[in-house]
Amino acid sequence: MSLSGGKPLLIVGGGEIAALACEYFRHDSDFMPVAFAVERPYRTSDTFQGLPLVDLDEVTQRFPPGQVDAFVAVGDTQLNRLRRRLYDTIKRHNYRVASYVSSQCFRWHNVEIGENCFILEHNTLQPFVKIKNNVTLWSGNHIGHSTTIHENVFITSHVVISGFCEIEKSSYIGVNASLAHHVTIASDNFIAMGSVIGASTEPDGVYQGNPAERRKVAATRFCRVKES
């Protein structure tokens, strides 16, 4: 397979985020998308965005792991469970997994970023920030110094996270939310848009308001999580 135009990239997904990932990788990375893959029940055509659309269970024959890298372009469905499951599938198939970091992201030299991360324009990543695998940072966020964002997190836009924070696994943070210094967002949290978090949260919670309060419904129920 030719490497002209960039390293060949298989994008897992066939929706809005997959289309955006294709655009970003194509015009602002060292990768060149060559195909999309989805699970068989969701494949309704043979092409997507002008590229082949293949069944995920046949992808290793069509696009072998040694010839292409992969990226899972899926949103926060079921508190990121779908993206995590597809990421795990790609890892089992022995693909190298790419990340996208916008050229318009401010990233201090010692920031650590894992694989299958999707970090869009105008994010500010301050010194000593650590971003683990399978994390999405939509545009315009501030990630304060010495903060760690753990696996399978989705952060939307214009979120302010102060220094020394911990964002635990599989959480979601809505537009314009703000976190105080030294706050921990527990695993499986859903932080509603505009919420102000001044103290650490508890697992599996929906938090809303200013100051944010925990709602009675569990986040996994609110987001209709189905564990496999």
Range 7-92 classified under CATH 3.40.50.720: no
Domain boundaries, the chain: 7-92, 100-218
Phi and psi based region of residue 7 (left: phi greater than 0; alpha: psi -120 to 50; beta: remaining): beta
> Which helix (H) or strand (E) is 11 found in, with range?
strand 7-12
Binding-site residues for substrate, in ranges, read 75
Total-model pTM: 0.96
The three-class DSSP label of residue 226 is coil
Q: Is 48 exposed, middle or buried (0-12, 13-18, 19+ CB in 10 A)?
A: buried
- pLDDT in the model for residue 1: 34
Neighbours of 42 (CB within 10 A): 12
Q: Which class for 214: exposed (0-12), middle (13-18), buried (19 or more C-beta within 10 A)?
A: middle
Specify the pLDDT at position 77: 96
Query: Which residue type, as a one-letter code, is found at position 126?
Result: Q
So what's the pLDDT on residue 14?
96
pLDDT at 227: 72
What are 8-46's pLDDT values in tens digits? 999 999 999 999 999 999 999 999 999 999 999 999 999
Q: Which residue type is seen at 152? A: N
> 98 and 116 in contact (C-beta within 8 Å)?
yes
Q: What is the CATH number of domain 100-218?
A: 2.160.10.10
Annotated binding site: 75
Contacts of 49 by beta carbon, 8 Å cutoff, 6+ apart: 18, 19, 22, 33, 36
Ranges of the chain whose pLDDT falls below 50: 1-4
CA distance linking residue 167 with residue 48, whole number of Å: 34
